[in-house]
């Protein structure tokens, strides 16, 4: 993680709100990082998050809070759980303790229980330790009381954090399961409990596959294979920083089984230290630079598995040129397990129905050849838009879209069919001067599907989220273009390609 360096926000304040996203959550005037305690409760989606209530760089870690009924628009609430002189409140999760196993309930009110990491500060009794603690809410998640018996799980470790708790009901019994990390050991540790207060070690998982940084923010959940509820597989997600496929922060996942005690991965390629040559073979939640600390909702309706990530990267997070806020969340995504060409993998789609925000005008074109060079699509300009596009490769060695362009700057989302590669090139995307590692060309392996390349892309003022081939590959990237750079163009290099269809929907 970047160190906490106070940086001046004055220089960026003037342009700041041309970057404020319309579709993605941002805190009004403070810093945020990881989503925490995601839960759907009594008809409301709760998004808590790592928040600095006093500034717009990392520090004073507390849990901020926002709610939504549709995952489209969010309302910010007062800070939910605040740091104090002893502890910072690091990442964690929330469960609805419907049978009051914890005893925090009152009368007929069952509690929401937050399980978070106490990062103990210098001078506290547990100085230097990270341990797991509880807080509870009896008013549906708006006010929280810290448990007087904290911490409830202390291994004497300085790097033990990010508990995700869920209810396991299976062949082995019915109990709470916690997955957390020993960050520097590349290990996910699994515990069980009957009351959320007493925890017993079940097993550990890792190191495996990507171990280029430290492991953080794990999650574990079952998903039906190809929609078949009789055929469940378990997915273990682990975020790591740095060490992502395009540098810095990223999330990997494993597919396997969980028997109530241990997770067994069927998708481990390397055990122990990672093989740098195999980075491209590991399974990534997202191949872009700005999708980190992804975690799923508890109790999402209709058995959906919904995830939100922090849309930033620790390499430059504290320096992105926005003010007074800093860092958006990703769109909420629905994730599922799908077999494609014999391979089982995660497929992701935006979870909300954005057509509710669609403006009256949309731009459509079909069956058009793109010639060598750049063609601006007149009538398709915008800063908040959804682009649905399908290409068939031709003789061009490279082709694709240029977003948020003005003839000088623009972000290329391109395909190199010869290399079966998708890329996002943000070298000319606008402001890149705030950190040396922001400028990048980021790539993902992407073969054609039935001869074509299909994308849904969300452009939202300071971001581009690409869902490729029906969500089999995603790339999420921040960009900071000039407010006036609004053109959408198509381009080809060294030959032709075909746009089978393109539809651009402006979103308010
Ligand atoms: C991930 C992380 C977590 C930690 C939190 C602190 O981004 O480093 O491991 O709990 O952020 O803000």
Q: Encode pLDDT of 223-245 as tens digits.
A: 999 999 999 999 999 999 999 99
Q: Encode pLDDT of 69-92 as tens digits.
A: 999 999 999 999 999 999 999 999
Instruction: Decide if pLDDT at 3 tops 80.
Output: no
Local confidence band at 121 (pLDDT 50, 70, 90 cut-offs): very high
Instruction: Decide if pLDDT at 12 tops 80.
Output: no
Local confidence band at 4 (pLDDT 50, 70, 90 cut-offs): very low
Contact 117 CB / ligand 1 (< 6 Å): yes
CA distance linking residue 455 with residue 475, whole number of Å: 11
**Ligand 1: which atom is nearest the Cα of residue 314?**
7
Joined together, the tokens standing for residue 420 give: 């079966």
Which pLDDT does position 6 carry in this prediction? Answer: 32
Å from CA of 158 to ligand 1 middle: 13
Q: Encode pLDDT of 441-466 as tens digits.
A: 999 999 999 999 999 999 999 999 99
Q: Mean pLDDT of all residues in the chain?
A: 94
Which pLDDT does position 2 carry in this prediction? Answer: 34
**Ligand 1: which atom is nearest the Cα of residue 90?**
10
Which pLDDT does position 117 carry in this prediction? Answer: 98
When computed from its CA atoms, the radius of gyration of the chain, rounded to whole angstroms, is 22
Q: Encode pLDDT of 41-74 as tens digits.
A: 999 999 999 999 999 999 999 999 999 999 999 9
Per residue, what are the HEC states of 54-99? CCCCCCCCEEEEEEECCCCCCEEEEEEECCCCCEEEEEEEEEECCC
Contact 90 CB / ligand 1 (< 6 Å): yes
Contact 34 CB / ligand 1 (< 6 Å): yes
Instruction: Decide if pLDDT at 170 tops 60.
Output: yes
Instruction: Decide if pLDDT at 1 tops 80.
Output: no
Which pLDDT does position 15 carry in this prediction? Answer: 52
Q: Encode pLDDT of 344-363 as tens digits.
A: 999 999 999 877 788 777 89
Provide the Cα torsion 468, 224, 73, 285; round to 10°.
-40
For residues 388-413, give the mean pLDDT: 97
Instruction: Decide if pLDDT at 491 tops 60.
Output: yes
Contact 162 CB / ligand 1 (< 6 Å): yes
Which pLDDT does position 355 carry in this prediction? Answer: 77
Q: Catalytic positions, please? A: 34
Letter string b/e over residues 476-495, b meaning 16 or more CB atoms within 10 A of that residue's CB: bbbbbbeeebbbbbbbbeee
Å from CA of 217 to ligand 1 middle: 7
Q: DSSP assignment, residue 371?
A: P
Å from CA of 377 to ligand 1 middle: 42
H or E stretch at 10? helix 10-13
Q: Encode pLDDT of 322-341 as tens digits.
A: 999 999 999 999 999 999 98
Q: DSSP assignment, residue 355?
A: G
332 alpha carbon, distance to own chain's centre:
8
Contact 487 CB / ligand 1 (< 6 Å): no
Q: Which of 30, 32, 34, 313 to probe ligand 1 with, by most ligand atoms within 8 A of CB?
A: 34
Instruction: Decide if pLDDT at 16 tops 90.
Output: no
Q: Which of 90, 114, 133, 294 to probe ligand 1 with, by most ligand atoms within 8 A of CB?
A: 90
**Ligand 1: which atom is nearest the Cα of residue 214?**
9
Q: Which of 32, 62, 216 to probe ligand 1 with, by most ligand atoms within 8 A of CB?
A: 216
All domains of the chain in start order, with CATH: 2-13+358-507 (2.60.120.560), 31-317 (2.115.10.20)
Å from CA of 33 to ligand 1 middle: 8
Instruction: Decide if pLDDT at 11 tops 60.
Output: no
Q: Which of 21-30, 115-124, 276-285 has the lowest mean pLDDT?
A: 276-285
Which pLDDT does position 13 carry in this prediction? Answer: 44
H or E stretch at 308? strand 306-310
CA distances from 193 to 138, 152, 197, 284 (A): 21, 11, 7, 30
**Ligand 1: which atom is nearest the Cα of residue 217?**
9
Which pLDDT does position 77 carry in this prediction? Answer: 98
- Closest Cα partner for 166 from 93, 105, 117? 93
Which pLDDT does position 359 carry in this prediction? Answer: 79
Q: Encode pLDDT of 413-446 as tens digits.
A: 999 999 999 999 999 999 999 999 999 999 999 9
CA distances from 85 to 6, 349, 355 (A): 20, 42, 46
């Amino acid at each position: 993680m970047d160190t906490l360096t106070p940086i001046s926000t004055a220089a960026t304040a003037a342009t700041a709100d041309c970057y404020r996203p319309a579709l993605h959550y941002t805190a009004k005037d403070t810093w945020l990082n990881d989503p925490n305690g995601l839960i759907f409760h009594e008809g409301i989606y709760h998004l808590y998050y790592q928040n600095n209530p006093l500034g717009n760089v990392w520090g004073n870690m507390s849990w901020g809070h926002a709610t939504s009924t549709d995952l489209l628009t969010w309302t910010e609430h007062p800070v939910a759980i605040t740091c104090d002189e002893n502890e910072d409140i690091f990442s964690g999760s929330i469960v609805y303790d419907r049978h009051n196993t914890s005893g925090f309930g009152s009368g007929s009110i069952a509690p929401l229980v937050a399980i978070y990491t106490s990062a103990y500060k210098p001078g506290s009794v547990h100085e230097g330790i990270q341990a797991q603690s509880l807080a509870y809410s009896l008013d549906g998640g708006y006010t929280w009381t810290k448990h007087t018996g904290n911490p409830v799980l202390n291994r004497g470790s300085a790097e033990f954090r990010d508990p995700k708790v869920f209810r396991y009901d299976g062949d082995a019994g019915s109990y709470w399961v916690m997955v957390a990390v020993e960050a520097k050991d590349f290990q996910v540790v699994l515990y069980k409990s009957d009351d959320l207060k007493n925890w017993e070690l079940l097993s550990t998982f890792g190191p495996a596959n990507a171990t280029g940084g430290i492991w953080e923010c794990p999650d574990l959940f079952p998903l039906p294979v190809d929609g078949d509820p009789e055929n469940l597989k378990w997915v273990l997600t682990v975020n790591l920083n740095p060490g992502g496929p395009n540098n810095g922060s990223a999330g990997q996942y494993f597919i396997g089984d969980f028997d109530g005690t241990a997770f067994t991965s069927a998708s481990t390629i390397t055990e122990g230290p990672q093989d740098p040559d195999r980075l491209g073979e590991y399974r990534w939640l997202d191949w872009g630079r700005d999708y980190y600390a992804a975690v799923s909702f508890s109790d999402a309706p209709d058995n959906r598995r919904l995830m939100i990530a922090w849309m930033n990267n620790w390499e430059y997070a504290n320096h992105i040129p926005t003010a007074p806020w800093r860092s958006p969340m990703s769109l909420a995504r629905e994730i599922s397990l799908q077999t494609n060409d014999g391979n089982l993998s995660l497929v992701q789609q935006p979870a909300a129905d954005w057509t509710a925000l669609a403006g009256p005008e949309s731009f459509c074109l079909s069956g058009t050849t793109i010639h060598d060079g750049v063609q601006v699509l007149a009538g398709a300009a915008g800063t908040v838009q959804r682009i649905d596009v399908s290409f068939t490769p031709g003789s061009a060695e490279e082709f694709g879209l240029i977003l948020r362009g003005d003839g000088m700057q623009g972000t290329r989302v391109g395909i190199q069919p010869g290399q079966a590669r998708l890329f996002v090139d943000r070298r000319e995307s606008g402001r890149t001067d705030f950190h040396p590692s922001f400028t990048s060309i980021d790539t993902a392996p992407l073969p054609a599907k039935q001869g074509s390349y299909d994308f849904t892309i969300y452009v939202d003022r300071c971001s581009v989220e690409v869902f490729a081939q029906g969500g089999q590959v995603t790339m999420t990237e921040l960009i900071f273009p000039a407010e006036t750079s609004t053109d959408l163009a198509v381009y080809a290099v060294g030959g032709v390609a075909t746009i089978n269809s393109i539809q651009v929907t402006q979103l308010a």
